[in-house]
A = this chain, B = another copy of it.
């Protein structure tokens, strides 16, 4: 199985699929190809949240503002999974999560994937990463080292999401991403809200709900999203607009009384 994720829209992902299917008959599953353009951080977040639900697979992910420069191509092994993509941090939050869930530790193996003279300088998804993913799939995740093109490396661009500041009375974090529904997903752990009916968010009291429908349509709430983090939301509406927050904005949650 090979999953595919990119910011390529239409029809570039199909060229990657053609290249892969010319080399292997692996099952292909799209994670999505309309991630925000060249936004490595948002795609990295979603890969971390989605890929752990898959059985062992090769995960091809390309959000690559540096395409055509000398940035490396990477293969990252995490338990029974492998991730293939550009050396810009995109793969690491997902790789560590996959490793943790499989082995209890976030140990990963990082390989440089060497390539020369790809057909284009603007579409390495097709010319570098798709062939690499097919090659990893064909040789098997356990045997990545046997590929001539790979060599172990410990030099790579890392990406880690910031930890929130949490104490007994308050937690301060930030918005990591806004999803398609407008829910503003923070890095604050959901259990911070345990047993609370309402909290103070950036100075205003807001109800806490187990589900969106806990408040009337159009009303704001804090809830724990499907990733286990605190989410600023509106029942049947957009939390980002209602709270006036976007990616990177600070969120402070105070526990009253």
Q: Give me the interface of A with B, judged by CB distance under 8 Å.
A: 1, 3, 5, 8-12, 14-15, 17-19, 21-22, 27-35, 37-38, 46, 49-55, 65-69, 119-123, 126-127, 179-181, 210-214, 223-226, 228, 231, 236
Contact = CB atoms under 8 A, between A and B. Distances in A.
A121 B15 contact: no
A66 to B, nearest CB: 6
Given A10-B33, A11-B31, A68-B213, 20 more contacts: A5-B11, A10-B46, A11-B32, A11-B50, A15-B49, A15-B226, A21-B27, A21-B55, A22-B53, A53-B126, A66-B213, A67-B212, A68-B210, A69-B213, A120-B224, A120-B225, A121-B224, A122-B212, A122-B225, A123-B225
A123 B226 contact: yes
A46 B127 contact: no
A251 to B, nearest CB: 18
Most interface-central of A1, A8, A122, A231 (chain B CB within 10 A): A122
Contacts of A214: 68
Identical chains in the assembly: 3
Nearest to A211: B68
A61 B55 CA distance: 22
Main secondary structure of the interface of A (DSSP, over half): loop
Given A65-B213, A69-B213, A223 B181 contact: no
Most interface-central of A17, A49, A121, A228 (chain B CB within 10 A): A121
B212 A15 contact: no
Contacts of A14: 3, 5, 29-32, 50, 53
Nearest to A23: B55
Contact of A121 (B53, B54, B69, B210): B210
A53 B12 CA distance: 11
A210 B122 CA distance: 8
Given A37-B181, A122-B225, A226-B122, A211 B69 contact: yes
Contact of A211 (B15, B122, B226): B122
